[in-house]
Amino acid sequence: MRLAPEGHQFPPGQDSAPVATSVVDEHYFKTVQTPVARGRGFSGADNDSSRRVAIVNEAFAATYWPNEDPIGKRIRLINKAENPWLEVVGVTKTEKYFRSFEAPTPFVYLPFAQNEKPQMSLLVATTNSDASPLAGPLRALVRDLDVNQPVFLLRTFSSFYRQQATGAPILIMRVATAMGFLGLTLALVGLYGVVSYSVARRTREIGVRMAIGAGRADVMKMVLREGMKLAISGILIGGIASIAVARLLSAGMAGLGAATPGVYVIVPVLLMALTLAASYVPAYRASRVDPIRALRYE
């Protein structure tokens, strides 16, 4: 919905801004435990015969009326032909409305008695943690009031929260984690292949080194050092790229959080340990090369 707050100056060519809205009744804020920080909530007197009212959240007030008292201010609905002016009678705390990691979002509440809709959602507060046993009585109650009134999408708020607020982010994190492990596995397999190929190419060199006095420990250190050089180069490049990507994610997904400095220490250490493990087998094989056979190796 597009709204035009009174007293707010928009850029040239713009007379309104899209704002998320919800139509609720006078019991909504108590049911969902949304505190009204200033002014008042809706009441039964807010009907078609009274003045048009609205309630905004703190993010809306801070965006359009900074350092001003929003109570008594007016906003106008642009999408309606009559363009009614709505008086702000209350300010609620800013909450999460669409996603659990969203940034503070301006939001407007409209009274149901002044904005009736053919379809609505009914929220029922319960004292028990499991509200599923109330499904049957609620359906029966609605049928008693109106036998032709359909009741659908009946579910507990906890299941709704898991599906709408946390379901998609958790799925994304699981997919990203699986892709990360797959990428790590492929990187380790590739590292093992590169080190093994390098050892095979340098078999004669290894034989010469051992023939002139190099010990098996020296050969293992040489091969492991080569693997560590590749790993450190990859960690440096990946670390710089991860810092840039983390900043983009933090900017695009407000509330997601930022990686702690410990992550940039623990992850490289783990990667280096895995690199040593992947390089150990080729290094062990290289240290067991017979110098005589190596010198004859073509």
Note the pLDDT of residue 81: 55
pLDDT value at residue 40: 94
Tokens read off for 274: 């895995």
Distance CA 260, CA 84 (A): 49
> What's the pLDDT at 23?
92
The predicted structure's pLDDT at residue 144? 85
The whole-model pTM stands at 0.60
- End-to-end, the C-alpha distance of the chain in Å comes to 77
DSSP H helical segments within the chain, as ranges?
28-31, 58-64, 135-145, 157-161, 168-201, 203-211, 216-252, 263-287, 291-295
Q: According to the model, what pLDDT value does residue 63 have? A: 92
Helix then strand count (H, E) for the chain reads 9, 8
Best CA proximity match to 108, nearest among 17, 33, 47:
17
Specify the 3-state DSSP secondary structure of 4.
strand
Chunked into runs of 10 residues, the chain (298 residues) has average pLDDT values of: 77 79 91 91 91 94 91 84 83 86 87 84 76 79 81 76 72 83 82 75 72 78 80 81 71 56 76 78 74 58
